[in-house]
Structure 1
């Protein structure tokens, strides 16, 4: 029986804050080895918080605090029961199929914000080209995309010389380097409180929308899908994930509704930033290889239907990786 609820909350608050900080450190660390003492301390904090929740839940006047403690205990229980001993060596497979998707889902609101802005940019780019065809020259920075779509399709389909393969390795390296540079920029622009990241994602959408509309209007939709889908279904999400990291950084700098200092906020998201940008880079490597060695071959060398199906299968695989397996261990509920 609690005689003075206010004093009890003040006395226990440090325990709850320590548990929250410990869980945040665990959740955001890609590489972390908990000692036996740290595990025992986590278990103690979990039990003490649970005991406090039982006492406070009898008071109808603190529903928000009860919900907050329930959420905290859910996180702690997931960590204690997930089987992650934190003593095993780092595994690329575990990081790719578990850590990366978990961090992605934990901060998915920033990904969705970037996706929404990119869609708006694409609509704007398509509308600009629809109302003013000459706007394409001002929007699209790539010279090979400025020519008439039908003419480009005709030229691409006439290049059946196997000798094209000799330049694919250099082209792949250039693509990977360029896309990685864009992704790092999307993250780095987070230091502008996320504004620069938002502008970059919007502009990428504008370019994409202008190109897509230009080819669809010219009746080259099948070519467009066969050309873009194999690498685009990986490349575009990868850039959005880099933007997700940039927006996360911007949010940490702004610190809305946070009682932590900026240094504490930045420290708490460091692991997430490293995981997101590393995942984006890994996806971009695959996208660069596919674009150089697969996307650039057109009919009659490779049927468009085959390329489209390949791209759709990639998309399904990526969605399965990122959101298909709902393992919520270590995530903030």
Structure 2
């Protein structure tokens, strides 16, 4: 009984000694963290701010020792709570979600897009080439149409359809569901293409480019079909309402995937991991914006195109959206975020 009491007394003394030797640092860190949590930054001296990282590491080390030596539960719980609170102050996010979103729209997103301009040019060339390839394949052999355009998307829009039948699919559909189904399928397809084009960028960007070619080949086949019926302009207007936003989103997604692939293949003077990490952060910022663009495209597809049933009006909406995106990305500077200051690899 005496030996047990002596062991308890020895452990208590060891815990008290451990606490007394380090308690001043704990209390100083707790005071700084409490002020920062309450937003009282002006009451914190420059000396305390400079000491904050070192104090955090000191207390974290104390916690590690306390765990290894099995100190009393109260000290251990206090240190765990203090280290957790200090971690959020030292390494946690410095801005709220709203502040981040405001910075994102206020220049961060546009800066990230400008940083991958070279990849955008490559992706744009590939998309144009894919459209031309789709047109030429179907023009040479109409059977290619069925290979390039999924049956669920084509419906009545197939080779051999009359001009009147094709025209009825792009005009006078405000109260019909047929074209809405096609539009929903088209949007779903393009959303999947955008995500895959970005996700497959790790394979040196090659799958991303092939995916862009295949997707645009189906558009080329559709353009050939409506051109043969003398409705190419009307079809382009029907597509422009949401297409200038949706296709722009696909372009950026493909460029973001290609940007990651290029950073892997050509890291330049930087280590591969560093180059890829920087490109990944930049591309992720671009893809966050791509999601917003797809949402805007869905709204245009669901409302604007149904309400405007004339080709000039449709071109006006699509042209305005294209001009707005170009102005935002390449003319608007705003407050560039950290990602915007990175240069493309």
Which residue of the partner structure matches residue 149 of structure 2? 140
Instruction: Give 1:315's match in structure 2, choosing from 322, 326, 332.
Output: 322
Q: Whose relative contact order is higher, 1 or 2, with alpha carbons under 8 Å and at least 6 apart?
A: 1
- In structure 2, do the counterparts of structure 1 residues 228 and 256 end up closer, same or farther at CA, with 3 Å as the change threshold? same
Does 1:295 pair with 2:314? no
Instruction: Give 1:156's match in structure 2, choosing from 169, 172, 196.
Output: 169
- In structure 2, do the counterparts of structure 1 residues 171 and 133 end up closer, same or farther at CA, with 3 Å as the change threshold? closer
What are the Cα deviations for residues 83-132 of structure 1, in whole angstroms up to 9, with x where unaligned? Answer: xxx95542423312411110000111111100001111111111122222
- In structure 2, do the counterparts of structure 1 residues 130 and 117 end up closer, same or farther at CA, with 3 Å as the change threshold? same
- In structure 2, do the counterparts of structure 1 residues 249 and 314 end up closer, same or farther at CA, with 3 Å as the change threshold? same
5 Å matches for 1:263-302?
A: 264-296=274-306, 302=309
Which residue of the partner structure matches residue 207 of structure 1? 218
Which residue of the partner structure matches residue 113 of structure 2? 104
Instruction: Give 1:181's match in structure 2, choosing from 163, 181, 192.
Output: 192
Normalised by the length of structure 2, the TM-score is: 0.62
Once residues 243 and 212 of structure 1 are traced to their aligned partners in structure 2, the CA distance between those partners, rounded to angstroms, is 22
Q: Secondary structure at the match of 1:209?
A: helix
Q: Which runs of 5+ in 2 are unaligned?
A: 1-45, 51-92
Normalised by the length of structure 1, the TM-score is: 0.64
What are the Cα deviations for residues 159-214 of structure 1, in whole angstroms up to 9, with x where unaligned? Answer: 5564659x96x988766554332211111111211110010011122112221122
Q: How many residues align?
A: 246
- In structure 2, do the counterparts of structure 1 residues 124 and 164 end up closer, same or farther at CA, with 3 Å as the change threshold? closer
Is residue 173–residue 306 contact of structure 2 (8 Å, CA) maintained in 1? no
Is residue 135–residue 221 contact of structure 2 (8 Å, CA) maintained in 1? yes
How many angstroms does 1:250 deviate by?
0.8
Q: Secondary structure at the match of 1:325?
A: coil
Once residues 288 and 309 of structure 1 are traced to their aligned partners in structure 2, the CA distance between those partners, rounded to angstroms, is 18
5 Å matches for 1:216-227?
A: 216-227=227-238
Q: Once superposed, what is the RMSD of the aligned Cα atoms?
A: 3.2
